[in-house]
Amino acid sequence: MGKYFGTDGFRGEANKDLTVEHAFKIGRYLGWFYGKDHKAKVVIGKDTRRSSYMFESALCAGLTASGADAYLLHVTTTPSVSYVARADDFDCGIMISASHNPYHDNGIKLLNGEGEKMDDTVLDGIEAYLDSGDVQSVISELAEKAMNSRTTVPDRLDDLIHTVACKAAIKAGRATTMLELQSLCDRVLSDDNVRSCPHGRPTTVRLTKYELDKMFKRVNQ
């Protein structure tokens, strides 16, 4: 076991042992690590603890600041995060939960792209990053990089088609044409639940399978 990560992830009392700064830097590191040669995709689930919402936002901030896309499953179980990470080709999965620990505790459990426990080499890198640097200087550096980055509209649509629309269609058991997928993407891009980074790329998709299925039904009418 490392300094922060044990057999079940990084656990401790929320805002004392496990803080938003920790969560931000974990997201920051994962976005950088998996985004070296492509745009990283990370799926996040959480339990019903009040602090889970806080850590979810901090993890998303770190991930998207590093250029990664964060997909939220919201309240769910660890096995579901493991399954989605493996089945939908995510680089890794994150579960925010402290299992049976008291309500004031929380935890961050990391899963690799196979839905299994994160490799020790990655955890070692995260721990080294947690012990180095200053969060404020990291945020300033990321803000400067974000202002200098650019993404085209075709890339936005292509990412949504392949990471949201196609998979949602398959799971809903509906056969759709590319024209219908394009129409769905236009609807998704205009939805208030799609959060975009400063240069316009949708980086955090806050849509459930039920909501996507409803969109498909509206598209096909």
Task: Tokens 């650019």: give the residue.
Answer: 150
Q: Which of 14, 10, 71, 9 is nearest to 43 (CA)?
A: 71
How many angstroms separate the CA atoms of 174 and 168, rounded? 9
In degrees and rounded to multiples of 5, residue 115 shows phi and psi of: 80, 15
How many angstroms separate the CA atoms of 22 and 124, rounded? 14
Q: Is 132 a catalytic residue?
A: no
Catalytic one among 51, 57, 99, 132?
99
Sheet with 105-112: strands ordered across: 5-6, 9-13, 105-112, 92-96, 41-46, 69-75, 202-205, 194-196
H or E element, residue 96 = strand 92-96
Tell me which residues are annotated as active site: 99
